[in-house]
Structures are given as C-alpha cells and as structure tokens.
Amino acid sequence: MSAQLEQYVYAKLAGGLHGRSRLDWLSRALAICDVQTLNAAFVLASRTIGSDVLPPSDAEALADADLACIAHGAPADELARICVLIRATRAHGDPVALATEWYRRGDNREKRAVLRALSVLDDPDRYAELGAAACRSSVQLVFEAICSSNPFPARHFSDLAFNQMVLKALFTGVPVSSIQGFDARWNQELSRMASDYARERLVAGRSVPVDIDRVIASPAAATEAS
C-alpha cells in the first residue's frame, strides 16, 4: 500500500517547473531509514514540496480505497509527510510513540498529516488512542482531519469514542455525511445522545444542527422512509 502511495506522489510531483527538484528531495528523504533524518523531512515538507493541492480526480486512479480517500484533494506536502511517516514508523522500535510524538510536537498541518496517515500505517488499530485524543482538539482543521473523510474512526474507534466524535461533529458544523462508515457504526446510544443534545438546544431556545435527524434515526429507518 505504501509503495502505491509513494508512486502516486512521485508521479504528481514530477510535473511543473520545480518537479524534478521536489521529486529528488523526497526520494532522498525516503531512501534514508534514519528516524531523525525522516523527522527533519517531515517538518520541512511544506517548505520543500509546497502545499499545492493535487487534482482530486487523480486520486480515483488509486486502486486502494483508503489511499484514494487520503489523496482526494490533499496538498502535496501532506502526502509527502504521510509517505515519510510510514517509513519512520517502520524504522522505529515503538511506532505508536513516534507517531504520537510527531503529532504532539507538530504544527496544525503536521498534526493533520499524522491523522490522515493513521489508516495506512501498519497495524492501524494500535493508533486508536491517538486518533480519539485528536477529537478533543479545539482546532477545527485538526478535528476535521480525523473526523471528516477519514476511514480510521469507523474501523478502529470504540463505540464511546465514535459517538463522542459524531456529537462534536454536530456542534462544530462538520457534515455527518462526511463521516466515513457512519451508517455501519450508528448505534442506539448515539441516537440517545443526539436526542438529548437536540432537546437541550431547543429548551435553551437555540437552533439544532440541520443533519441531527440523521443521527437520531437509524440508517435503516431513514432508507425505508425515503
């Protein structure tokens, strides 16, 4: 999977005026399986690779659905960072500790890259605690990185962590439709939590999120109603 992503990123970076220099820089960084060097590459990616957004339609060429989801509309430096992180976790004795450290020490864009990478790291279930902790971020860019268009939470979060993420998505304005695997992870406790939240808002004279009905009703009932 990682080789496919690297090939995709190489192909996208090869074009343009500075394509060769960007490609050479990333190739050299990935060829060195030294965690300290890879960490420097992770930090310097925005400056060296640039943050131009790769065409979303290009991601559809990726055979793996997770890779296509990650690459869709992603900036070049983010994809480069994901490639670097994959290599670094494989070279480190404690990959979870490494990913957690890079997340905690990173700026918001670096945090986002770590969270977008979680589903394509080896043994992704090990990173469930890191993903759930990211849901507590007050930075919308960081929260959306784990919550929106990311297959990781639906596959690896506990019911409690997933439910809390969905509730936060409601009151921060993240569309429920952007939560990957929502229908499969919907549960009665989530419905109850959403109902309580809606009731509290109405009693306080406040509006409720427009898509809260989708959280309260079961996906099966909503399908039958339509």
pLDDT of the residue at 17 = 46
Verify that 164 and 176 share a domain, yes or no.
yes
Predicted confidence (pLDDT) per residue in 147-176, tens digit: 999 999 999 999 999 999 999 999 999 999
* Overall average pLDDT of the 93-121 stretch: 97
**Residue 212 in contact with residue 196, Cβ under 8 Å?**
no
* Overall average pLDDT of the 18-39 stretch: 86
Quick one: how many helices (H) and strands (E) in the chain?
A: 15, 0
Looking at 122, 152, 184, the residue that finishes a domain is 122
Of 197 and 17, more confident: 197
**What gap in Å lies between CA 82 and CA 121, rounded to an integer?**
9
Verify that 97 and 199 share a domain, yes or no.
no
75 CA to centre of own chain:
13
Q: Could you give the percent of the chain with pLDDT greater than 70? A: 90
Verify that 74 and 102 share a domain, yes or no.
yes
Which of the four pLDDT bands, split at 50, 70 and 90, describes residue 106? very high
Verify that 5 and 110 share a domain, yes or no.
yes
The pair of three-digit structure tokens given for residue 191, joined into one six-digit string: 């419905």
| Residue whose C-alpha is closest to residue 218's, from 189, 178, 197, 198 | 189
**Residue 30 in contact with residue 42, Cβ under 8 Å?**
no
pLDDT of the residue at 221 = 60
Verify that 209 and 156 share a domain, yes or no.
yes
The pair of three-digit structure tokens given for residue 213, joined into one six-digit string: 């009905």
Structural domain including 210 reads 125-226
Indicate the DSSP class of residue 106: S
Which of the four pLDDT bands, split at 50, 70 and 90, describes residue 190? very high
Is the pLDDT at 51 greater than 90? The verdict is no
Computed on alpha carbons and rounded to an integer, the radius of gyration of the chain in Å comes to 19
What residues does 75 pair with on adjacent strands? 53
Verify that 43 and 148 share a domain, yes or no.
no
Looking at 74, 105, 122, the residue that finishes a domain is 122
Is the pLDDT at 10 greater than 60? The verdict is yes
Assign residue 174 a region: left if phi > 0, alpha if psi is -120 to 50, beta otherwise? Answer: beta
Looking at 122, 143, 161, the residue that finishes a domain is 122
Write out the E strands in 104-197.
Answer: none
Verify that 5 and 113 share a domain, yes or no.
yes
15-24, 80-89, 116-125, 166-175: least confidently modelled range: 15-24
**What gap in Å lies between CA 166 and CA 42, rounded to an integer?**
30
CA dihedral sign, ordered 132, 119, 124, 187: positive
Verify that 179 and 216 share a domain, yes or no.
yes
Which of the four pLDDT bands, split at 50, 70 and 90, describes residue 55? low
What predicted TM-score, i.e. pTM, was given to this entire model? Answer: 0.91
Which of the four pLDDT bands, split at 50, 70 and 90, describes residue 135? very high
Verify that 206 and 112 share a domain, yes or no.
no
How many domains does the structure of the chain reveal? 2
Of 48 and 182, more confident: 182
Is the pLDDT at 225 greater than 70? The verdict is no
**What gap in Å lies between CA 156 and CA 107, rounded to an integer?**
25
Indicate the DSSP class of residue 55: P
* Overall average pLDDT of the 187-191 stretch: 97
Verify that 163 and 226 share a domain, yes or no.
yes
pLDDT of the residue at 112 = 97
Verify that 135 and 70 share a domain, yes or no.
no
Is the pLDDT at 57 greater than 60? The verdict is no
Verify that 1 and 99 share a domain, yes or no.
yes
